[in-house]
Structure 1
Amino acid sequence: MVARERREELGELLDSATTVLLTVECQQGVVGPDSALPELAREARESGALGNVARLVAAAHETGLQVVHAVAERRPDGRGASRNARLFRAAERLPVQQLSGTTAVRVAPPIEVAEEDFVVRRLHGLSPVQGTDVDALLRNLGCRTLIVTGVSANVAIPNAVFDAVNLGYSAVVPRDAIAGLPSDYTAAVVRNTLALVATIATTEEVLGCLKRPRRRN
């Protein structure tokens, strides 16, 4: 009975006409083979999270669900980039830089980017949503529910979920389509933090709810 109620609740949230799939920092310089953060890249791949993101994106393309890819990058001269946290200053010293126009800021395989997808690039801050074009795009698309996937469960994923909720969207997090470090941290942050503000599901549960939506204007 509980499982059926969960499926019904998730199905109502994932109305295909008002749902958008967000991938967070699934770029080659973060989760690819030449990542600036090889441990995170390894975790994203070995845990299956990156593969599950790819499956969700493929299903979204098949059903017409809108996909938005949030990418973090910086100008080669660093102009406009944030420096007010240890994370930003440490990133400046990494051997792989997320520089605009380079391979590092391309969405990483096996995720495929379709012509109808949006790729939103940010040059500052921690959030894939607040202070970027994402919110305006979601509102113009009639979005009410945001499926949040990608990396990392340490910073960007919680930021995206909190910002989505603060902006009035419902958030759905497929717990096996996000990754962070250490490996057991993702489960802890899902259980103790994200579950308080978002609907937690699995990739299979979300895939089971995706239906062909009405054609968007």
Structure 2
Amino acid sequence: MPSYEQLSQLLDPRTTVLLTVECQQGVVGPDSALPELAREARSSGALANVARLVAAAHECGTQVIHAIAERRPDGRGASRNARLFRAAERLPVQQLSGTTAVRVAAPIEVAEEDFVVRRLHGLSPLAGTEVDALLRNLGCRTLIVTGVSANVAIPNAVFDAVNRGYTALVPADAIAGVPSDYTPAMIRNTLALVATVATTDEVLACLKPPRRGARA
């Protein structure tokens, strides 16, 4: 784990952005299309830790972006080039635009200054979405990646962030996947090779408001 000094250098609120990935009601909520993943996100404390990080980011002036995966009712523009996408079409709960399924799930609170970026295709919150352009315009250097799932979207987000020149930071207890032992294996064997890995408490200890007179 990085030292407090190392984390503090990475987590300048002026150049840090917190990304929540697919923390939406239809994925991690009580009526999830993926109940096993929803249970894991909640029972592990990952969703609660995402909410803690979002609240701290709001308090210290760190920008928050919520990445939402959804589809049109007619399915136009949706990806169908992988088994995962075809299986999603048959789920009893659909992530349809404009429905409660694609609202950010409690206990995460969305502030007026947050960005909510919705995508209709692909596996990544960054590739082919507004997120990368927003990060560049915000002057982002460090991207905190949280949410679900450690199986697919989280590693995609981390790899895409690193490939685009950002430093990725993953709070290990603020991401979730299935089965429960998969997430620590993914972190240890893959994400730790390309991202800075810390705990939620360690990140919270370093997220502080910018000094007076500094650009928020």
Query: Helix, strand or coil: the match of 1:68?
Result: strand
Letter in 1 for 2:200: T
The partner residue of 1:152 within 146, 149, 153 is 149
Task: Give the drift of 1:108.
Answer: 0.1
Q: Deviations over 1:125-176 (max 9, x none)?
A: 0000111000000000000000000000000000000000000000000000
Q: Distance in 2 between matches of 1:210 and 1:10?
A: 9
TM-score of the aligned structures, taking structure 1 as reference length: 0.97
Runs of 4+ aligned structure 1 residues displaced above 3 Å come to none
Residue type at the aligned position of 2:182: Y
Which ranges in structure 1 are unaligned for 5 or more consecutive residues? none
Counterparts of 1:50 and 1:108 in 2: how far apart (Å)? Answer: 9
Other-structure match for 1:167: 164
For the residues of structure 2 that align with 1:168 and 1:77, how far apart are their CA atoms? 36
The CA deviation at 1:215 is: 3.6
Tell me which residue corresponds to 1:57: 54
Query: How many residues of Structure 1 are paired with residues of Structure 2 in the alignment?
Result: 213
Q: TM-score, normalised by structure 2?
A: 0.97
**2:65 aligned partner:** 68
**Could you list the per-position Cα deviations for residues 74-115 of structure 1 after superposition, in whole angstroms to 9, with x for gaps in the alignment?**
000000000000000000000000000000000000000000
Aligned: 1:195 with 2:213? no
- Counterpart check, 1:17 vs 2:14: yes
Match of 1:183 in 2: 180
1:160-202 C-alpha deviation (Å, 9 max, x unpaired): 0000000000000000000000000000000000000000000
1:141, 1:113 → 2: CA distance?
18
Q: Distance in 2 between matches of 1:134 and 1:166?
A: 14
User: SS state of the match for residue 148, structure 1?
Assistant: strand
SS in 2 for 1:193: helix
Q: Does 1:113 align with 2:110?
A: yes
1:27 lines up with 2:24 in the alignment? yes
CA distance in 2 between counterparts of 1:147 and 1:165 reads: 12
How far, CA to CA, are the matches of 1:112 and 1:178 in structure 2?
A: 17
* Residues 29-48 of structure 1 aligned to structure 2 (within 5 Å): 29-48=26-45
CA distance in 2, matches of 1:215, 1:115: 19
C-alpha RMSD of the superposition: 0.9
